[in-house]
Structure 1
Amino acid sequence: MNLFTHWAPGILNKIGPFMEIDMERPLEETIEKILGHGGKLILDKSKAVVAKPLDDSKQSWEPHAVIEDPAGNYLYLWKCPSSRTWDELKRNTTRKKAEAVICT
């Protein structure tokens, strides 16, 4: 799981984590679970600059959906594009023992 936070004074009203979601499940299924537990789908760009309608078919590195959890926190859901292979990740993390493991 990856987690980022966004903050832009005067642009974004709320800080929220940016999370990578389950790669094997449709985005709609993940959002239905969140909504079922009291969350809200944010579509208003005045509340979150990256808010937009759901489109699980888009393959990009941008956030796919903005959710407000029951406590009022914004969650920026992101799904890795299908073009990303995990073989690349393994190849790029091989380092000598003395070096830190860096994922690129």
Structure 2
Amino acid sequence: MTGTVHELFPDAVAASEPSTAPPLPVMPHVAEIIIQLERLRATSEQALAVMRLCPTLTSATTEFLNQIMDHWVRASGANDALAAILSCKGQA
């Protein structure tokens, strides 16, 4: 074998160069998922405490369940947005 590495493997240089494509904007969606799931956890703990201590407070339980569903919907929306970004692989 004779010749330089660049002559033998012309694509090696292109493969070793960093990509010029901009990074995908996934961090805001990941952060939103984490925030909403943390809020969901905290609200669930509060709802559980209310249900254990005062099971007759149905209006408070209903309000907690509505908040839990709201956090779930927001986390699910952020997850769907993240999945859409990752599925396009930067080819928006």
TM-score category by the smaller chain?
under 0.3
Q: TM-score with structure 2 length normalisation?
A: 0.21
Larger radius of gyration: 2
Q: Which has the higher strand share?
A: 1
